[in-house]
Amino acid sequence: MKKIREKNILIVVTNASKLDDFNKTGVWLEEFALPFLTFKENGCKVVIASPLGGLAPVDENSLQCKNPTEWDYTIKDLKDTQKLSDINPDEYDAIFLPGGHGPMIDLAQDELLGKIVSDFYNKHKIVAAVCHGPAGLLNAKTLTGEPIVKGMQVTSFTNKEEKLVNKDKVVPFLLESKLKQLGAYFNESLAWEENVVVDENLITGQNPQSSRLIAETVIKKMKL
């Protein structure tokens, strides 16, 4: 893949470390590490932010022995993230939201993130999110006040996948159902199958298996 230069990407991650008293959560490492490394390999400047700044916890379940070593190296970049309120959206060409269940707790409720995502979307800059990352799109609005996902082709971690990981009764809401409720046209592939959906400047991925493809899709879109 031909490298690009002077493109700035904002990655916004969760600060949430638990779903409830019995279920820990955080950033799903693959969904952060693969895009982060892919963006940097293609000459992009990457800044990582979170609602509170500081530590973005990694979901322990995503720390598997089969993970490539280079993924582990990226964990240090999650230990001291910038505070979202210190970010100037005008400095970035794209925004990317990784998943893990954490975004269901904080990014889904964050009004500032909603405004920032709205700004990117309405300026026709790239808005991308994978797995549970699309929870951070729920508060974003078009210039006419409609949800940005309304009438758009999107995907996310599916209701079926949520049931398969036994979290459908634990999460505060089902993301697929919420996106549909807001008027999105939901595109579902088989569980754990790579699936990335592009609709204008909105790019969404279904699951961890979609992490590399969504990053490559963002890179390709920025080169158009």
Q: What is the dihedral of CA 16, 114, 112, 14, to 10 degrees?
A: 20
* Across 184-197, average pLDDT: 98
Query: Where are the extended beta strands (E) located within 51-208?
Result: 82-83, 94-97, 126-130, 153-154, 185-186, 196-199, 202-205
Structural domains of the chain, ranges and CATH numbers in brackets: 7-223 (3.40.50.880)
Chain centroid to Cα 85, Å, comes to 18
Q: What is the pLDDT of residues 57-112, one digit of tens each?
A: 999 999 988 899 999 999 999 999 999 999 999 999 999 999 999 999 999 999 99
Residue scoring higher pLDDT (5 or 139):
139
Distance set, CA 10 to CA 3, 24, 33, 146, 219 (Å): 18, 25, 14, 24, 13
Cα–Cα distance measured from residue 185 to residue 175, given in angstroms and rounded to the nearest whole number: 13
Residue with tokens 């508060």: 139
Predicted pLDDT at 5: 52
Question: At residue 115, does pLDDT exceed 60?
Answer: yes
The 8-class DSSP code of residue 190 comes to S
What is the residue type of 141? K
This prediction has a pTM of 0.96
DSSP 3-state helix, strand, coil percentages of the chain (rounded to 5)? 35, 20, 40
- Tens-place pLDDT, residues 1-55: 454 457 999 999 999 999 999 999 999 999 999 999 999 999 999 999 999 999 9
What would the mean pLDDT of 184-202 be, rounded to a whole number?
Answer: 98
Q: What is the pLDDT of residues 172-186, one digit of tens each?
A: 999 999 999 999 999
- Asked if the model's pLDDT at residue 127 lies above 50, the reply is yes
pLDDT number for residue 4: 43
* Band of pLDDT at residue 224, cut at 50, 70 and 90: low
| pLDDT for position 155 | 98
Residue-wise pLDDT tens digits, 140-175: 999 999 999 999 999 999 999 999 999 999 999 999
Q: List helix spans (H) across the chain.
A: 29-41, 69-73, 102-105, 111-122, 159-164, 175-181, 211-223
